[in-house]
């Protein structure tokens, strides 16, 4: 049904962000609620009177004040009948059962007949304020729709003369299995489809709690409740963003203002509705809390059997062992053995067992009626709200919040509130952190005895091989009880919620000599009076974080939301202590075993440099801390200097396996990265230089950075071989891991040359600025002037391929001669598993896993003209399957610079939403912080074309033109050499 054209508003056009408004009919547009209510009462009373007489029970009439609103209002007719009869204890067979639907059908049809009789007899009135609002919206060209459960919806619109007001109508005749009635969101989302708007760009106006709940579930941008009776609070409780008594209280402009506010607020939250065990592990990753020292996956407080509620302590690793695998299904790793091969998982520190009236309740139990989990990105606090129905007469709600304190890195906080909605009963809470399946769930830990003072529960563990100790201690109280215990049994009643509070202290022997004594002292020093203060300190620290970590996108709320989500994880996992760095999945999952890769220096470091340089410094201090391991590794290869491990953990030794063996077939697949992906050494040096350049932290360079640059420069001189004209680096794997044993990889050689150049620059700087420190360092490293000459010679003669006549730089020697491979579109970003089996064949193909040569213009934009960049982008991009999450962001940045708007937008969105939409289907294993860092870089250095000069950050002249639709602007603040600068680009 198409609405009649409406005259547009004259004069200056008002810019609205809401694109459509969808109205409920009964109670919003028309005053049919009275007719419906009267028809329901007439019909039900007739039935109930007969029912009571047949059973000799008292007749209890249908109550318009309670029964109508609770069981019937807003629901599809037959569903309303069923719900009310069930509430009265009248067993209603399923409609599908023989004869089962007769009773429901009969009552429903009678009610409809009665309603139509009254409608035709008495007519129906409309709310003039609603009609006025709809007309105003139409004049502003805002689309309007109508949704009603009534099968008479269209007839009522015709009778009332309002049909022309709505471009799309869904009524009860449109409902079926695919378009279910309220409280399902289907009818609203279908209406939005008909209006050609996404729900988040639309407003729903509803007067029934079921309708409000449906719109909330549908993720509509704004849900406006109309309180026609006395259910203001109920409308808010079910999801109305705000409530009015009549639509005369709003106009198009004020409604749009509310819509903007809601959208803006929604962009600070990530919300999950419903609990799906299949998706739960991915949700646990997304809702991880962390502070750089600890990370805790976002499992529900009431753990369920399949939960992977891991606690990770940064820097605590243990030996991988076939009998203590995380996941040794099918694959055996051979080589890479180490005392510190695998990040250790410890028991979940928010574990609760909750029962009401002796019945255990949890997220996956049959009693669970609703589950909502919301991550407030502002405060870094996830809140879980669950509602349980023990039976028809006993409903329970539970709300829980938690955090890993950003202000006190050894502290975790948890608060749980239990409310018995409609009955008095006994609540039992068991908050012990003892894991009954410790061996199976956390195989690296051996429990040790620990003495604990009264009121504090202490768990002490030692890792099996590496011998680290971890202590997790907790105090729990019931608010108002005045004592501490992990076991509580307390009476509760409606209006008397029980609130439990928990402190958790986590220490490891990597930080303190006696983790137990330190944890106990920590908790003993805490007062419950300061519990809220501890939350406030945490929130204040995050508020400070967002000063630089936040990016505002004009007219881009969803993008803001995703960027904040990424920044949240980058900050949650940030290296807060100097001896640890950031693993490939941070502290959010077991995948990659917590190993440290080039991801940190190349993909994450720039984010920290300009938002929180102390983190960047810590990440580089880890490289200094592991320098001895890198030296040993160079010696193991027969070279000088320091060669960083492709995968490292505690000491700097390489923990990459040499081979994997499939158990089923015995087939072995070699892993070349550990021995050949040596560019990581130059990547570390690049990170040192970039940190120095961005911060002018000269003390760092003098005391730590220069040593890294010198030792890595030594390695490259030793690792390169001299040819007739050039020095060469042979037998490597570049970022593109599909090709092994290649010579003169463009990325590796370029980065090695840069490493040598920066070592020479740092040496000159030290000689000039810090001659004493220079002399001491030379003595300690046995560095003589002639060695600098060797660096200079290799830097000047290291083979770095020039562009050919097409402008293309060969990725490595002989790449152009490889066999062509027509890459199917479906294999992009979804590398098929047979890549694993075909590794040797792939080595001979022009098939690239991730940006390799294209990394160079990404990292050194000024070194490549647009023409050279275009030639290389056009050559390599079609050959790349993006088998790594790191690849799309690089392509997005380069495409943005080249003005390839569609490609830039597509790649950037893939990168931006990688975890929130589970693009690579592996977010259950942990989030992808390097991808998040790459996404941020693509925005800053690609779309904005940002560079820094002596005045601070400078955006590209054409930055505004690079912005994707529908953005109007990008603004943020960045740190550069100790000062904070605003950055803003407006289209």
CB closer to another protein, 283 vs 732: 283
Name every residue whose Cβ is closer than 8 Å to that of residue 46 and which is 6 or more positions away in sequence.
110
Smallest distance, Å, CB 824 to another protein? 6
For another protein, which residue of 626, 748, 924, 935 counts as binding (CB under 8 A)? 924
Q: CA-to-CA distance for 507 and 976, rounded, in angstroms? A: 34
| CA 591 – CA 923 distance, rounded (Å) | 10
Task: Mark the segment that binds another protein (CB under 8 A) among 637-645, 739-747, 762-770, 917-925.
Answer: 917-925
Instruction: Count Cβ atoms below 10 Å from residue 403 Cβ, excluding itself.
Output: 25
8 Å CB contact between 350 and 431: no
Nearer to another protein, 527 or 664 (CB): 664
Report how far residue 639's alpha carbon sits from residue 796's, in angstroms, rounded to the nearest whole number. 20
Helix (H, G, I), strand (E, B) or coil at 902: helix
User: And the tokens for 153?
Assistant: 């919806």
CB of 172 to another protein, least distance (A): 21
CB of 578 to another protein, least distance (A): 26
Partner residues linked to 463 by β-bridges? 445
Q: Binding to another protein by residue 935, rule CB under 8 A?
A: no
Q: By CB under 8 A, what part of segment 269-308 binds another protein?
A: 269-281, 283, 286, 304-306, 308
| Candidate residues 453, 723, 789, 824; the one interacting with another protein per rule CB under 8 A | 824
User: What is the contact mask toward another protein in residues 827 to 846, using x (rule: CB under 8 A)?
Assistant: x--xxxxx-xx---------
- 56 near another protein (CB under 8 A): no
Tokens of 67: 């029964």
- Which residue from 427, 409, 405 is spatially nearest to 418, judged by alpha carbons? 427
Residue 630 Cβ vs another protein, minimum distance, rounded to whole Å: 21
Under rule CB under 8 A, residue 669 binds another protein: yes
Enumerate the β-bridge partners of residue 313.
Answer: 294
Question: Residue 555, interface with another protein (CB under 8 A)?
Answer: no
Candidates 47, 115, 592, 704: give the one binding another protein (CB under 8 A): 592
Q: Which of 159, 132, 130 is nearest to 146 (CA)?
A: 130
User: For residue 10, how far is the Cα from the chain centroid?
Assistant: 44
According to the binding rule CB under 8 A, does residue 39 interact with another protein? Answer: no
Query: 548-577 burial by CB neighbour count: b if 16+ within 10 A, else e?
Result: bbbbbbbbbbbbbbbbbbbbbbbbbbbbbb
**Which 412-441 positions form the footprint of another protein (CB under 8 A)?**
437, 440-441
Select from 448-456, 704-712, 920-928, 974-982 the region that touches another protein (CB under 8 A): 920-928
Least gap, CB of 652 to another protein (angstroms)? 19
- Cβ-based nearer residue to another protein, 793 or 838: 838
Instruction: Select 116 or 364, whichever has its Cβ closest to another protein.
Output: 364
Give 438-507 as a DSSP string. HHHH-TTEEEE-----TT-EEEEEEETTT--EEEEEEEEEETTT-SB-SEEEEEEBTTB-EEEEEEEEEE
| Tokens 């069930």, residue located | 86
Nearest distance from residue 917's CB to another protein, in Å? 4
Minimal distance in Å, beta carbon 935 to another protein? 14
User: Under rule CB under 8 A, which residues in 309-338 are in contact with another protein?
Assistant: 326-331, 333
Counting contacts by CB under 8 A, is residue 593 touching another protein?
yes
Selected from 293, 461, 565, 875, the binder of another protein by CB under 8 A is: 565
Q: What's the min distance (Å) between Cβ of 216 and another protein? A: 9
**Tokens standing for residue 352:** 């609760």
Number of residues that bind another protein (CB under 8 A): 77
Minimum distance, C-beta of residue 918 to another protein, in the bound complex (Å): 9
Nearest CA among 570, 592, 574 for reference residue 343: 592
Residue ranges in 965-984 that form contacts with another protein under rule CB under 8 A: none
Binding status of residue 884 toward another protein by CB under 8 A:
yes
Under the criterion CB under 8 A, does residue 671 sit at the interface with another protein? Answer: yes
User: Is 148 in contact with 171 (CB distance < 8 Å)?
Assistant: yes
What angle is formed at CA 775 by the lines to CA 774 and CA 777, rounded to 5 degrees? Answer: 65
Distances 802 to 331, 735, 869, 876 between C-alpha atoms, Å: 42, 19, 13, 16
Hey, which residues between 347 and 406 contact another protein (CB under 8 A)? Answer: 364
Verify binding: residue 182, another protein, rule CB under 8 A: no
Which residues, numbered 851-870, are part of the site for another protein (CB under 8 A)?
Answer: none
Q: Which is nearer to another protein, 592 or 976 (CB)?
A: 592
Q: Which is nearer to another protein, 185 or 687 (CB)?
A: 185
CB of 406 to another protein, least distance (A): 23
**Interacting residues with another protein between 144 and 173 (CB under 8 A):** none
Residues recognised as catalytic: 24, 26
Per CB under 8 A, the list member of 56, 527, 862, 921 interacting with another protein is 921
Element (H, E) at 289: strand 289-290
From candidates 606, 613, 657, 942, binder to another protein by CB under 8 A: 657
Nearer to another protein, 104 or 283 (CB): 283
Retrieve residue 723's tokens.
């040819």
Pairwise CA distance, residues 897 & 962, whole Å? 7
The CB-of-184 to another protein minimum distance in angstroms stands at 8
| Number of residues that this document lists for the chain | 987
Q: Which range touches another protein (CB under 8 A), out of 104-112, 378-386, 482-490, 661-669?
A: 661-669
Binding to another protein (CB under 8 A): which residues in 500-539?
A: none
Instruction: Give the residue with the Cβ less far from another protein, 91 or 278.
Output: 278
Range 207-226, binding another protein (CB under 8 A):
217, 219
User: In which residue are the tokens 């639709």 written?
Assistant: 965
Number of H helices, E strands in the chain: 34, 33
DSSP character string of 23-90: EESBTTTB--HHHHHHHHHHHHHHHHHHHHHHHT----PPPTTTHIIIIITTS-HHHHHHHHHHHTT-
């Amino acid at each position: 049904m198409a609405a009649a054209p409406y005259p547009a508003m004259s004069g200056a056009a008002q810019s609205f962000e809401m694109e459509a408004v969808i109205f409920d009919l009964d109670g919003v547009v028309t005053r049919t609620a009275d007719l419906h209510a009267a028809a329901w009462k007439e019909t039900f009373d007739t039935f109930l009177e007969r029912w009571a007489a047949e059973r000799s029970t008292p007749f209890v009439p249908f109550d318009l004040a309670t029964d109508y609103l609770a069981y019937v209002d807003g629901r599809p007719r037959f569903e309303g009948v069923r719900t009310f009869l069930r509430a009265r204890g009248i067993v209603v067979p399923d409609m599908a059962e023989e004869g089962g639907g007769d009773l429901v059908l009969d009552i429903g049809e009678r009610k409809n007949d009665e309603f139509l009789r009254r409608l035709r007899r008495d007519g129906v009135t409309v709310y003039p304020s609603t009609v006025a609002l709809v007309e105003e919206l139409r004049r502003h060209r805002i689309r309007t729709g109508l949704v009603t459960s009534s099968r008479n919806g269209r007839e009522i619109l015709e009778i009332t003369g309002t049909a022309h007001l709505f471009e799309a109508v869904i009524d009860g005749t449109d409902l079926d299995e695919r378009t279910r009635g309220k409280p399902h969101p289907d009818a609203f989302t279908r209406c939005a489809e008909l209006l050609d708007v996404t729900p988040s760009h639309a407003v729903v106006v509803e007067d029934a709690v079921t309708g409000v709940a449906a719109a909330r579930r549908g993720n509509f941008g704004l849900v406006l409740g109309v309180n026609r009776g006395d259910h203001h609070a109920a409308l808010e409780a079910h999801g109305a963003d705000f409530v009015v008594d009549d639509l005369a209280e709003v106009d198009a402009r004020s409604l749009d203002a509310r819509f903007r506010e809601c959208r803006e607020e929604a962009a600070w939250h990530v919300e999950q509705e419903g609990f799906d065990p299949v998706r739960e592990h991915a949700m646990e990753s997304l809702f991880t809390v962390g502070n750089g020292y600890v990370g805790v996956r976002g499992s529900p407080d009431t753990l369920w059997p399949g939960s992977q509620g891991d606690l990770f302590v940064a820097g605590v690793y243990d030996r991988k062992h076939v009998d203590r695998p995380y996941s040794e299904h099918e694959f055996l790793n051979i080589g890479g053995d180490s005392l510190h091969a695998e990040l250790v998982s410890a028991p979940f520190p928010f574990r609760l067992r909750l029962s009401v009236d002796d019945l255990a309740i949890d997220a996956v139990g049959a009693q669970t009626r609703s589950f909502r989990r919301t991550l407030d990105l502002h405060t870094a606090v996830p809140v879980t709200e669950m509602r349980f129905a023990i039976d028809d007469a006993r409903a329970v709600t539970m709300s829980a919040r938690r955090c890993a304190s950003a202000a006190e890195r050894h502290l975790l906080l948890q608060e749980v509130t239990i409310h018995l909605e409609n009955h008095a009963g006994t609540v039992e809470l068991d908050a012990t952190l003892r894991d009954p399946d410790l061996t199976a769930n956390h195989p690296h830990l051996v429990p040790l005895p620990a003495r604990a003072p009264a009121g504090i529960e202490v768990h002490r563990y030692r890792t099996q091989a590496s011998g680290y100790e971890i202590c997790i201690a907790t105090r729990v109280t019931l608010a108002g009880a005045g004592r501490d215990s992990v076991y509580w049994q307390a009476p509760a009643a409606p209006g008397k919620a029980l609130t439990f509070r928990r402190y958790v202290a986590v220490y490891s022997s990597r930080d303190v000599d006696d983790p137990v004594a330190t944890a106990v002292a920590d908790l003993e020093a805490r007062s419950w009076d300061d519990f809220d203060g501890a939350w406030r300190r945490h929130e204040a620290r995050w508020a400070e974080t967002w000063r630089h970590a936040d990016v505002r996108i004009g007219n881009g709320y969803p993008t803001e939301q995703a960027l904040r989500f990424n920044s949240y994880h980058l900050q949650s996992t940030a290296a807060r202590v100097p001896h640890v760095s950031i693993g490939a999945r941070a502290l959010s999952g077991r995948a990659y075993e917590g190993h440290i890769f080039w991801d940190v220096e190349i993909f994450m470091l720039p984010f920290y440099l300009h938002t929180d340089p102390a983190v960047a410094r810590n990440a580089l201090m880890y490289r200094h801390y592991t320098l001895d391991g890198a030296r040993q590794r160079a010696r193991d290869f027969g070279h000088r200097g320091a060669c960083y491990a492709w995968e490292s953990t505690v000491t700097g030794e390489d923990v990459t396996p040499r081979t994997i063996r499939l158990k089923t077939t015995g087939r072995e697949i070699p892993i070349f990265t550990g021995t050949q992906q040596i560019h990581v050494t130059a990547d570390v040096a690049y990170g040192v230089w970039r940190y120095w350049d961005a911060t002018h932290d000269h003390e760092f360079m003098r005391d730590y950075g220069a040593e890294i640059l010198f030792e890595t420069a030594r390695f490259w001189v030793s690792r390169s071989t001299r040819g007739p004209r050039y020095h060469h680096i042979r037998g490597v794997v570049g970022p593109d891991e599909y090709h092994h044993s290649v010579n003169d990889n463009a990325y590796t050689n370029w980065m090695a040359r840069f490493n040598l150049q920066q070592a020479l620059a740092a040496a000159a700087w030290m000689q000039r600025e810090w001659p004493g420190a220079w002399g001491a360092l030379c003595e300690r490293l046995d560095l003589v002037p002639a060695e600098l000459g060797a660096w200079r010679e290799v830097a000047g003669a290291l083979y770095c391929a020039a562009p050919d006549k097409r402008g293309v730089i060969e990725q490595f020697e002989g790449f152009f001669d490889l066999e062509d491979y027509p890459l199917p579109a479906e294999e992009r970003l979804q590398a098929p598993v047979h890549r694993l089996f075909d590794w040797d064949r792939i080595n001979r193909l022009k098939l690239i896993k991730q940006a390799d040569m294209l990394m160079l213009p990404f990292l050194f934009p000024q070194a490549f003209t647009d023409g050279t960049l275009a030639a290389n982008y056009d050559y390599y991009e079609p050959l790349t399957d993006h088998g790594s999450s790191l690849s799309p962001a690089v392509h997005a940045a380069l495409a943005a610079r080249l003005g390839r708007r569609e490609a830039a937008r597509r790649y950037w969105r893939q990168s931006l939403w990688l975890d929130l939409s589970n693009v690579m289907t592996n977010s259950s294993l942990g989030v992808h912080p390097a991808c998040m860092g790459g996404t941020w870089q693509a925005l800053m250095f690609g779309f904005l074309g940002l560079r820094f000069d002596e005045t601070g950050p400078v955006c590209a002249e054409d930055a505004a033109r690079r912005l994707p639709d529908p953005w109007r602007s990008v603004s943020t603040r960045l740190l550069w050499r100790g000062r904070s600068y605003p950055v803003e680009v407006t289209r």
